[in-house]
């Protein structure tokens, strides 16, 4: 989401002016103009901007988040053959192009790759993303991690940042395995609770997933979800429909306000259930395992009655924006539908993570 760029500029505390924002999506542009009415907005594709037009903007930094769908595991994995990569490839074309790493290296830039999630900043939302920062080699980075993909924000050389890294030369499949090991909670997990010391497998998940989620909820370095929730939300607008409860009961990732975790929110949130993000249990005194263990041999109506006791609801767009690090004053035009808000937020990055990377880039 393009308004991310202006928010990270203010959060990073780096004195800068956003000379232009570029997006072809009409709804995204309306939201951007609503929040940043004085910033030049180019309603076109990146590849529709000539090199001369770029030169006239006279910028020092590009912040870009190409569509991830061509490269994700749940997408078609079309890579550069997917037309949604056109804007990214066009930027590489403007530099004498090969592919990303070769291009920035041949143009005299040093770079650093990252795989980062907001949980590393104490935010209870798993949103593992690949980031790359690059700048001219005349100004070195304030850390040394050559050939590594950092899994946490860099420390000083004496603190051995390499223990949080992987070899950039490894195969893509090896990187995915490492990705799962560091941050396995990526958009697909179901929920759990613990009862005493024994795991209760009352949903479609493994004992390992149960244990990992318990560890996440016990990680005091991460804030509780309640810090990001709205106080006066009309819950009736966000409760899961009974049919959805019945159909997806075993797949839901259920969290409470006291939880210190949530799964990745995608653009299909609120419209699709499976793999699109966590749902919130608002009756905290009801034990989820007791509800699920009681569903056996009940009729559909009785199962729905039991599941409704959990009062499960979707997170609101504002709450997701809070988890993504958007400031309190961020808003949507009144005509922007809830579905459109979810779609835009699902395509966003976390503001706090990007702001931290900009600080590193400008040190």
Query: Is 1 exposed, middle or buried (CB count within 10 Å of its CB: 0-12, 13-18, 19+)?
Result: buried
Structure tokens at 344: 């835009």
> CA-based angle 3:336:229, to the nearest 5?
70
| CA dist., res. 76 & res. 231, Å (int) | 40
CA distances from 171 to 69, 167, 184, 313, 362 (A): 20, 9, 19, 40, 30
Query: Is 229 exposed, middle or buried (CB count within 10 Å of its CB: 0-12, 13-18, 19+)?
Result: middle
> What is the dihedral angle through the alpha carbons of 343, 277, 122, 288, rounded to the nearest 10 degrees?
150
Whole-angstrom Cα Rg for the chain: 22
Asked whether 280 and 312 are in contact (CB, 8 A), the reply is yes
- Which of helix, strand or coil describes residue 97? coil
Catalytic residue among 13, 68, 107, 362: 68
| CA dist., res. 345 & res. 264, Å (int) | 11
| CA dist., res. 158 & res. 144, Å (int) | 10
Name the phi and psi angles at 32, rounded to 5.
-65, -45
Query: Is 86 exposed, middle or buried (CB count within 10 Å of its CB: 0-12, 13-18, 19+)?
Result: middle
| CA dist., res. 340 & res. 332, Å (int) | 10
Residue 68 catalytic? yes
| CA dist., res. 200 & res. 322, Å (int) | 32
Asked whether 316 and 347 are in contact (CB, 8 A), the reply is no
> What is the dihedral angle through the alpha carbons of 75, 78, 84, 88, rounded to the nearest 10 degrees?
120
Residues classed as catalytic: 68
């Amino acid at each position: 989401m393009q308004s991310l760029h202006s928010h990270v500029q203010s959060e990073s505390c780096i004195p800068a002016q956003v000379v232009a924002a570029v997006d072809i999506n009409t709804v995204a542009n309306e939201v951007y103009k609503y929040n940043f009415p004085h910033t030049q907005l180019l309603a076109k594709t990146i590849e529709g901007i000539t090199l001369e037009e770029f030169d006239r903007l006279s910028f020092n930094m590009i912040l870009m988040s190409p569509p991830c769908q061509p490269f994700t595991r749940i997408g078609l994995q079309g890579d550069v053959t997917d037309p949604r990569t056109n804007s990214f490839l066009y930027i590489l074309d403007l530099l004498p192009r090969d592919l990303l790493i070769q291009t920035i290296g041949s143009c005299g830039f040093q770079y650093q790759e990252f795989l980062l999630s907001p949980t590393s900043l104490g935010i209870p939302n798993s949103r593992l993303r690949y980031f790359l920062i690059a700048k001219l080699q005349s100004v070195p980075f304030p850390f040394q991690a050559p050939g590594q993909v950092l899994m946490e924000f860099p420390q000083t050389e004496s603190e051995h940042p390499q223990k949080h890294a992987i070899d950039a030369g490894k195969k893509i499949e090896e990187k995915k395995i490492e990705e799962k090991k560091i941050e396995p909670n990526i958009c697909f997990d179901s929920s759990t609770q613990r009862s005493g010391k024994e795991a209760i497998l009352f949903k479609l998940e493994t004992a390992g997933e149960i244990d990992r989620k318990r560890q996440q909820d016990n990680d005091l370095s991460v804030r509780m979800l309640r810090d990001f929730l709205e106080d006066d939300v009309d819950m009736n607008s966000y409760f899961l429909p009974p049919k959805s409860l019945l159909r997806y009961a075993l797949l839901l990732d259920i969290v409470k306000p006291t939880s210190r975790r949530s799964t990745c929110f995608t653009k299909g949130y609120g419209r699709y259930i499976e793999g699109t993000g966590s749902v919130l249990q608002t009756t905290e005194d009801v034990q989820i395992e007791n509800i699920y263990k009681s569903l056996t041999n009940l009729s559909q109506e009785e199962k729905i009655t039991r599941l409704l006791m959990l009062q499960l609801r979707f997170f609101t767009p504002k709450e997701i924006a809070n988890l993504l690090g958007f400031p309190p004053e961020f808003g949507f035009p009144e005509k922007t539908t809830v579905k459109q808000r979810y779609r835009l937020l699902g395509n966003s990055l976390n503001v706090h993570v990007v702001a931290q990377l900009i600080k590193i880039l400008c040190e």
